[in-house]
Amino acid sequence: MKTVLSFIFIFLLTISCKPGQEEPLVRKDHTVKSTDGVELHVREVFFKNGTSQNTSPLLMVHGGGPGAIASFDLDVPGGSLASDIAEKGFKVYLMNIRGWERSTLPEYDLSDSTLVAGNYREAGEDINAVIDFIRERDHVKKVSYFGWATGGHWGGYYAALHPHKLAHFISLNSLYGVNAPWELKQFFRSDRDSSLYNKQGFFRKSAKGSLTGKWTSTIPTENKETWRDPGIAEAYDEIAVKLSSLPDTMIVPGGYREESFYMSNGKKYWDAKNISTPSLVMRSELDFWSRPEDLEAINKDLRIEKKKVITIPGTHYLFLDRPERGRDRLIREIVNFLEEY
């Protein structure tokens, strides 16, 4: 599909440069057209003269909470997974699925009670539009993919459909379709029928200050600052709300919650047996979203030689934790996998 590109803004981030020198880290923001009249926000991150020509660009996709900039490119030390991966020689792209941050929504019929806003098929169309944009922009046949939480669910669906466009599939803390205990199930199930999702609206709304609560509660130390920089937590909460359309409140499509509930009961929206792309599937030891059973099931279903399935000590927000709390390990695993496979 042909994409239409419009530059929003270009800015440079200074990193240890002498006065008068050109700053090496570049961020470029783009708009890419998807289906249903949707316009997607995409950010390109790379180091000038530091990007390897022998590696495929890496697309990073957020989960069901805050979007790609809040998750992967905070402008605070240790808050940008994108720039840390780019520093290793990779061109990195961040994208927001429709309805997240600066990506627009289609004209939904909100009178349709069966509507699943931001469902996996829509996400797949958005990912396809951005991957085609990257392939054309960088003159490459394949793009690598990293998805966090729901981003891994969307990416698994995409990888099963479009193996000819993907160089690598990487997921972190993602659910898979297996019936197993899930601590969040109690919040999403119907009071009338526990096998059904309790649909109370089409969108998720989270007030400022509430987005780091679960992160805080899962850190297994009394002094949370030994595990997480408070400045990063504050920036994560601040940017998630700042880039939302509601004042002091993050609002995103809520369809991922419905799909997640049914995945936790065993429904497969996609099957890992259909993935032929080299795959790295990771889970944090203290994760509250994915389960050990998800890792076991996807490992069993992935019928490929080039795969790695691992558990890393850390929280759901591994890439925002302190380096020694799993962040460095995560970066090392991603970079090594991209280089070795």
pLDDT of residue 54: 77
**Hey, what are 30's tokens?**
């783009």
Which numeric CATH code is attached to 6-340? 3.40.50.1820
C-alpha 48/C-alpha 210 separation (Å) is 38
Helices (H) and strands (E) in the chain, counts: 10, 11
pLDDT band per the 50, 70, 90 thresholds, residue 51: confident
Gap between the Cα atoms of 286 and 93, Å rounded: 27
Q: Which residues of 50-75 are buried (b: 16+ CB within 10 A; e: fewer)?
A: ebeeebbbbbbbbbbbbbbbbbbbbe
- pLDDT tens column, 148-185: 999 999 999 999 999 999 999 999 999 999 999 999 99
Residue at 33: amino acid letter: K
Percent of the chain residues past pLDDT 70, beyond the cut: 93
User: How many angstroms separate the CA atoms of 132 and 290, rounded?
Assistant: 29
Q: Alpha-carbon distance 6 to 79, whole Å?
A: 27
What is the residue-wise DSSP string for 274-286? G--S-EEEEEETT
Residue 255: enclosing H or E segment and its boundaries? helix 255-264
**Mean pLDDT of the region 45-69:** 92
- The one-letter amino acid code at 274 reads N
Q: How far apart are CA 277 and CA 295, in angstroms?
A: 17
Distance (Å, whole) CA 284 – CA 310: 9
Q: What is the mean pLDDT of residues 101-111?
A: 97
Arithmetic mean of pLDDT, 95-107: 98
Residues 6+ apart with CB under 8 A from 314: 284, 285, 286, 321, 325, 326, 327, 329, 330
Separation between Cα atoms, residue 26 and residue 83, nearest integer Å: 9
Do the Cβ atoms of 40 and 126 come closer than 8 Å? yes
* Half-sphere CA count of 235, side-chain side, radius 13 A: 18
22: confidence class by pLDDT, cuts 50, 70, 90: low
Give the number of other CB atoms < 10 A from CB of residue 172: 27
What integer best gives the mean pLDDT of the chain?
A: 93
Identify the DSSP state of 214: H
- The strand pair at 166-172 and 279-284 is best described as parallel
Q: For residue 9, what pLDDT is reported? A: 34
HSE toward the beta carbon, residue 256, CA cutoff 13 A: 27
User: Angle at CA 265, nearest 5°, toward 259 and 268?
Assistant: 60
Distance CA(10)–CA(48), nearest Å, equals 14
